[in-house]
């Protein structure tokens, strides 16, 4: 009996009837499927395409966090034997990561369908996410092996009485708190490097999309990872995320989510000086110059704001277009945007976008559009629920013009398929407008002028810069933001280093007694 019983069977129900089934899921703690200590809280998971409850998952509370952290601590401390983890060589942990990668690849279709269902993202996007999850574990298996090569490398020092080397040690117990827009991928970005490093993990999925984490726990279990190394505690933010952020036995918190929650997590974690990485929101610019190819520019603008239904932290949601091509570009953008099919994530129509993740997001995005109108913005296309969809949290892909610098839609993260547009004349103006944001996650420049592109790469205050594209993300490359978009970088070798402590080892090499001679001046013969 594990978290999601008979999920293949249940999946059929999810797709066909969408009726309200009460499944009692469990928590995965210390290698076992367990009931929450206090009976837990039943959390309804809604299919945003039809507003029906798919399933109820059991959410835990502080007591369950305590149990999971204790299990993770105990697993971390094991020094030898079949359940050792933190003391294994990287190459031995790599085998487990590869098994997890294979487990995800084998269950890709099920997991992708579940995420398309509870998250609302188009099914083919969910499939790509799952490829990335499997790839991410495989990639960090490779980096786990490379940790061994980095161990005990010498450092040149100016005193030959000593020898100094560096070791890399796992940070310890990691609390991973993740959002709903990439349920398993955001988890993978943390779990894969954490496990590669030798850490143990307590995962707190988003209460909005908690299903696939349960399937994933079973994959980790089946891969033979020792008990307590990986744990999943579903639940609400205040019930599980809060206790995890402040737990004294948690050494590091890795968080992805909103700025407001990130700030709370950082505050909670500060009492015990935890290592913290934060991947937060964004309001990223895409700057298009007169010399850009219109067709390509429109493609990347759309990819930058409509991918994942616009619910992506790095969405290039602020379009800055140079005056001369603005009219032509916007005309084409509207024409292409209108061709997008809005509908069920399993729809075969292409291109398509699905519903927003839940009612809260739907209301929030509609309110932003309303505010834009009140502040003087003009809706060029979209701006409402599509006429053909009376239920589900759908919204038409939206382009807003006549936006000013002080408008709410220009300044705040909307997290939906809503593009705000401003025009500019000069390069200086474009750079100033692009960087004028409290966020600094990503930025994009579209131009044929390579020298100009180089200038923008330097000038953008953002952790990710795209030249002549927007959004491609590769797990080999660092990911994260400047300013209020976060602290630290995930992915690549940078992501692994998040989970490694650097240990200086200095050895006194003089064998002769009494040679140091600071306090003991003369050697007694």
| Cβ nearer to ligand NAD, comparing 135 with 205 | 205
Compute the chain's Rg from CA coordinates: 25
Dig out the tokens for 47 from the structure. Answer: 């299919």
Q: What is the spatial distance between Cα 435 and Cα 420, in angstroms, rounded to a whole number?
A: 15
Positions in the binding site for ligand NAD (CB under 6 A): 177-181, 186, 204, 206-207, 237-238, 241-242, 245, 256-258, 261, 264-265, 279-282, 313, 413, 415, 441, 486
Query: DSSP for 120-189?
Result: ---HHHHHHHHHHHHHHHHHHHHHHHHHHHHTTEEE--S-TTEEEEEEEEE--EEEEE--SSSHHHHHHH
Smallest separation (angstroms) from ligand NAD to the CB of 265: 5
| Cβ nearer to ligand NAD, comparing 99 with 254 | 254
Catalytic residue IDs: 279, 313
| Cβ nearer to ligand NAD, comparing 179 with 285 | 179
| Cis status of the peptide bond prior to 273, with omega within 30 of 0 | no
Per-residue burial over 151-188, b = 16 or more CB atoms within 10 Å of its CB, e = otherwise: eeeeeeeeeeeeeeeeebebbbbbbbbbbbbbbbbbbb
Strands 27-29 and 32-34, how do they pair?
antiparallel
| Cβ nearer to ligand NAD, comparing 358 with 381 | 358
| Cβ nearer to ligand NAD, comparing 474 with 508 | 474
Smallest separation (angstroms) from ligand NAD to the CB of 469: 18
Supply φ then ψ for residue 522, to 5 degrees: -120, 140
- The structure tokens 């398929």 sit at 417
Smallest separation (angstroms) from ligand NAD to the CB of 357: 8
- Structural contact between residues 78 and 88, judged by C-beta atoms closer than 8 angstroms: no
- Structural contact between residues 131 and 108, judged by C-beta atoms closer than 8 angstroms: yes
Smallest separation (angstroms) from ligand NAD to the CB of 336: 25
Smallest separation (angstroms) from ligand NAD to the CB of 358: 9
Smallest separation (angstroms) from ligand NAD to the CB of 412: 10
| Cβ nearer to ligand NAD, comparing 157 with 260 | 260
């Amino acid at each position: 009996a594990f978290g999601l019983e008979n999920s293949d069977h249940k999946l059929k129900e999810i797709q066909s009837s969408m009726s309200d089934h009460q499944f009692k899921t469990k928590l995965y703690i210390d290698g076992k499927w367990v009931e929450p200590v206090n009976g837990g809280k039943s959390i309804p998971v809604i299919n945003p395409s039809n507003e029906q409850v798919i399933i109820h998952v059991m959410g835990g509370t502080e007591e369950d966090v305590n149990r999971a952290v204790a299990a993770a601590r105990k697993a971390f401390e094991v020094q030898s034997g079949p359940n050792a983890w933190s003391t294994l060589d990287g190459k031995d942990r790599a085998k487990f990561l590869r098994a997890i990668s294979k487990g995800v690849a084998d269950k890709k279709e099920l997991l992708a369908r579940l995420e398309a269902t509870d998250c609302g993202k188009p099914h083919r996007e969910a499939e790509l996410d799952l490829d990335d999850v499997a790839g991410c574990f495989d990639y960090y298996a490779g980096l786990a092996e490379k940790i061994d090569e980095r161990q005990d490398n010498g450092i040149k020092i100016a005193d030959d009485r000593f020898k100094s080397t560096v070791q890399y040690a796992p940070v310890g117990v990691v609390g991973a708190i993740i959002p709903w827009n990439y349920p398993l991928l955001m988890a993978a970005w943390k779990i894969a490097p954490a496990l590669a490093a030798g850490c143990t993990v307590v995962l707190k999925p988003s209460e909005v999309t908690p299903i696939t984490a349960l399937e994933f726990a079973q994959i980790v279990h089946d891969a033979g990872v020792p008990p307590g190394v990986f744990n999943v505690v579903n639940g609400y933010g205040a019930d599980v995320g809060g206790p995890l952020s402040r737990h004294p036995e948690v050494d590091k918190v890795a968080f992805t989510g909103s700025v407001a929650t990130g700030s709370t997590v950082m505050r909670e974690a500060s009492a015990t000086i935890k290592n913290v990485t934060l991947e937060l929101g964004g309001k990223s610019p895409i700057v298009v110059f007169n010399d850009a190819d219109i067709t390509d520019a429109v493609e990347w603008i759309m990819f930058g704001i409509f991918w994942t239904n616009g619910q992506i932290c790095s969405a290039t949601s602020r379009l800055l277009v140079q005056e001369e091509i603005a009219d032509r570009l916007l005309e084409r953008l509207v024409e292409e945007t209108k061709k997008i099919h809005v509908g069920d994530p399993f729809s075969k129509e292409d291109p398509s976008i699905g519903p927003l993740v839940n009612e809260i997001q739907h209301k929030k995005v509609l309110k932003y559009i309303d505010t834009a109108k009140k502040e003087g913005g003009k809706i060029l296309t979209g701006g409402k629920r599509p006429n053909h969809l009376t239920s589900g949290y759908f919204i038409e892909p939206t382009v807003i013009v006549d936006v000013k610098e002080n408008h709410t839609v220009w300044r705040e993260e909307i997290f939906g398929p809503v593009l705000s547009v401003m025009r500019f004349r000069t390069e200086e103006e474009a750079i100033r407008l692009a960087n004028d944001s409290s966020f600094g996650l990503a930025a994009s420049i579209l131009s044929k002028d390579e020298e100009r592109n180089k200038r923008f790469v330097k000038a953008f205050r953002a952790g990710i810069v795209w030249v002549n594209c927007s959004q491609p993300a590769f797990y080999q490359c660092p990911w994260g933001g400047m300013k209020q978009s976060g602290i630290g970088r995930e992915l690549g070798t940078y992501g692994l280093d998040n989970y490694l402590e650097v240990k200086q080892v200095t050895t006194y090499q003089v064998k002769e007694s009494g040679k140091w001679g600071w306090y003991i001046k003369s050697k007694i013969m």
